[in-house]
Chains A and B, each alone.
With several copies, the nearest count.
Chain A
């Protein structure tokens, strides 16, 4: 593991957490609305997976701000999207749950649990068809691992030997329901075992995630077919900002806060890579600046007008309008 990569991952994790808190703050003021799903506590997975999976397409869920930024999408464009502004990555059409940027091969933010997995399968087919270097990574939760769309995808990706990396972010909850109450076991990778190679990784250990996803990426790019990676992690906040998360105990949350991904990586940077506390402060400061700038940018950006409501309904303009 290269120092510069570890540092970059750390910086993005710090940025991500600050970004999420800022989003929450501006949700409270009413500047952001709709459903807002925060990724706090899960930054190691979101950042390191994106950094490791450096050539290929990414399909993910509605909890994707940090992933989008780690893929290279500007924090400004993400924040502006949350604000519903025309400078947002989806021009304010999609909001927090729908950040699309094909120029970064990022198809993020499907709000139908499991619904994006068959799309990722199809994209992997297209990559294989075109003999592209690209593989595809699809991230989904423990809750999604109970859906028909997920199961069909395991079967099809395996049959077609597709270059597809299934990444299960197991944070143990689907809204208020603990995974072990709606599946026969905690480890969702067991479901993939009949179909493909499976791997597990500590989702709160950024460097481990990085190594694991690198290995998985190499595996799929060699034509071995799909692979399934399961990462255990935990979200600190409620499912969305409107969820008080009363279904979990304070103790459980505490246990996970002791495994905080940012704190963990911070120690590594200090101990193994000898970053000084002023180096770390600098990272913190820059992250805060970036977030503040993103908020200002979002606030000052214009909204798309209602006169363009029909724009982008179709790509080909038809002479007959309904």
Chain B
């Protein structure tokens, strides 16, 4: 099934088992969601559970917080990451803090979902990534799942658990195909080893997992080395154990992310490795990330502003050569 179908399935099943699960957002009801994630659900659960909202992102998240206080399990959909900025007050000042500030008296079982990243020429106001901001907020759990099967299980977990979750998707993943095993017992808080390897650990997440896997056969062939690829899945908390085990084996770290280099999420991973794994590292780590520019409309420039399979491969090769790999 497609990635978006897996998300749809997860929401559908949660609504079936728990009548307090509702979803709200722009065009999520009759229209079925702008990326078709909620397609068909309004016919099954009605407009009471699939709530078309005005274009008012602050309220979408703010209302979801209130619904959770009132005993529902809301899933708030924001059409695109850039619009989530309008809801940052509600996400950061309210959703992330009420449980702690109330000493646990208020519980917010809710999810905020949105797609992010560079799709195709949507320009600067529709192409950004905000995991570096949201994963840094205490009191939130942040998922960014690349695998279709894990996406299904992670979203179910996010909806049915009692803590507030930000669930980040990528516009280019919605039509990705994959098998979903509904009975699998998966832990979305654990990082996923996509491919085992001996010489270098590549840490990445979301759409970059696919870009890394795309160039990997060539990279391995051209360098004669073997690379371990880790998909973080949960950006907060970070499964440091899995990273540690891998780095102890390889001694070399490459971090790949789509977002801008300056202050990007990967800085946390690399700085952690420098602090806690310094003596296990055999070489300087490498961060591959987007350029520090707003995303241009022109396709060539757009592609030049983010990592692609080709540039990832070339950067790793150059780094390997410089660092005695």
- Interface residue ranges, A against B (CB under 8 Å): 33-35, 57, 59, 84-85, 90-95, 97-98, 100-102, 107, 110-127, 129-130, 143-144, 146-149, 152-153, 155-156, 159, 174-177, 181-183, 247, 303-306, 309-316, 318-322
Near A by CB (< 8 A), chain B positions 51-80 give 51-56, 58-59, 61-72, 74
Residues of A within 8 A of B67 (CB): 122-123, 125-126, 129
B305 contacts A107, C-beta separation under 8 Å:
no
Residues of B within 8 A of A100 (CB): 98, 101-103, 105-106
Q: Which residue of B lies closest to A155 (CB)?
A: B54
Min distance, Cβ B241 to any Cβ of chain A, angstroms? 7
Q: Does B298 contact A (CB under 8 A)?
A: yes
Counting from the closest, the 5 A-B pairs by CB-CB distance are A122-B66, A126-B70, A118-B62, A95-B297, A146-B54
A93 contacts B103, C-beta separation under 8 Å:
yes
- CA of A112 to CA of B305 in the docked complex: distance in angstroms? 22
Residues of B within 8 A of A114 (CB): 55
A127 contacts B70, C-beta separation under 8 Å:
yes
A33 contacts B241, C-beta separation under 8 Å:
no
Q: Does B83 contact A (CB under 8 A)?
A: yes
B238 contacts A320, C-beta separation under 8 Å:
yes
Min distance, Cβ B239 to any Cβ of chain A, angstroms? 5
Residues of B within 8 A of A156 (CB): 53-54, 56, 59, 63
- CA of A134 to CA of B84 in the docked complex: distance in angstroms? 31
- CA of A320 to CA of B237 in the docked complex: distance in angstroms? 6
13 more A-B residue pairs beyond the given contacts A149-B89, A314-B163, A321-B237, with a C-beta to C-beta distance below 8 A: A34-B120, A59-B66, A98-B101, A98-B125, A119-B62, A119-B66, A124-B70, A129-B67, A148-B56, A306-B301, A310-B291, A318-B189, A320-B190
From B30, B63, B301, A125 is in contact (CB under 8 Å) with B63
Residues of A within 8 A of B106 (CB): 100, 102, 107
- CA of A91 to CA of B100 in the docked complex: distance in angstroms? 10
Residues of A within 8 A of B305 (CB): 309
Q: Does B22 contact A (CB under 8 A)?
A: yes
B296 contacts A92, C-beta separation under 8 Å:
yes
From A123, A143, A182, A309, B296 is in contact (CB under 8 Å) with A309
From A94, A111, A148, A174, B26 is in contact (CB under 8 Å) with A174
Min distance, Cβ A139 to any Cβ of chain B, angstroms? 15
Residues of B within 8 A of A181 (CB): 30, 52
A176 contacts B66, C-beta separation under 8 Å:
no
Residues of B within 8 A of A147 (CB): 54-56
Residues of A within 8 A of B26 (CB): 174-175, 177
- CA of A298 to CA of B62 in the docked complex: distance in angstroms? 33
A101 contacts B105, C-beta separation under 8 Å:
yes
Q: Does B257 contact A (CB under 8 A)?
A: no
Q: Which residue of A lies closest to B106 (CB)?
A: A100
A92 contacts B298, C-beta separation under 8 Å:
yes
**If A125-B63, A303-B300 touch, does A111 touch B125 (CB 8 Å cutoff)?**
yes
Task: Identify the interface centre among A113, A122, A177, A319: most chain B CB within 10 Å of its CB.
Answer: A122
Min distance, Cβ A292 to any Cβ of chain B, angstroms? 23
Q: Does B123 contact A (CB under 8 A)?
A: yes
**If A110-B94, A115-B89, A122-B69 touch, does A175 touch B31 (CB 8 Å cutoff)?**
yes
- CA of A306 to CA of B302 in the docked complex: distance in angstroms? 9
Min distance, Cβ A84 to any Cβ of chain B, angstroms? 4
- Interface residue ranges, B against A (CB under 8 Å): 22, 26-27, 30-31, 34, 48, 51-56, 58-59, 61-72, 74, 82-83, 86, 89-90, 93-94, 98-107, 120-126, 138-139, 141, 161-163, 189-190, 234, 236-241, 262, 291-294, 296-301, 304-305
- CA of A118 to CA of B93 in the docked complex: distance in angstroms? 13
Q: Which residue of B lies closest to A103 (CB)?
A: B105
A122 contacts B63, C-beta separation under 8 Å:
yes
From A33, A92, A130, A183, B120 is in contact (CB under 8 Å) with A33
- CA of A91 to CA of B65 in the docked complex: distance in angstroms? 22
B72 contacts A148, C-beta separation under 8 Å:
no
Residues of B within 8 A of A175 (CB): 26-27, 31, 34
Residues of B within 8 A of A126 (CB): 66-67, 69-72
- CA of A174 to CA of B300 in the docked complex: distance in angstroms? 31
A143 contacts B54, C-beta separation under 8 Å:
yes
Q: Which residue of A lies closest to B103 (CB)?
A: A91
Subset of 14 A-B contacts with CB under 8 Å: A90-B297, A95-B123, A112-B89, A114-B55, A116-B94, A125-B72, A129-B67, A149-B59, A181-B52, A303-B300, A311-B103, A311-B104, A315-B104, A322-B238
**If A92-B296, A156-B63, A315-B163 touch, does A57 touch B70 (CB 8 Å cutoff)?**
yes
From B162, B163, B240, B297, A98 is in contact (CB under 8 Å) with B297
- CA of A297 to CA of B190 in the docked complex: distance in angstroms? 46
Q: Which residue of B lies closest to A100 (CB)?
A: B102
Q: Which residue of A lies closest to B85 (CB)?
A: A112
Residues of A within 8 A of B299 (CB): 33, 84
Q: Which residue of B lies closest to A94 (CB)?
A: B101
Q: Which residue of B lies closest to A143 (CB)?
A: B55
Min distance, Cβ A320 to any Cβ of chain B, angstroms? 5
A306 contacts B304, C-beta separation under 8 Å:
yes
Q: Which residue of B lies closest to A101 (CB)?
A: B105
- CA of A148 to CA of B125 in the docked complex: distance in angstroms? 18
**If A125-B67, A313-B99 touch, does A115 touch B62 (CB 8 Å cutoff)?**
yes
A34 contacts B123, C-beta separation under 8 Å:
yes
From B58, B99, B240, A315 is in contact (CB under 8 Å) with B99
Q: Which residue of B lies closest to A151 (CB)?
A: B56
- CA of A144 to CA of B94 in the docked complex: distance in angstroms? 17
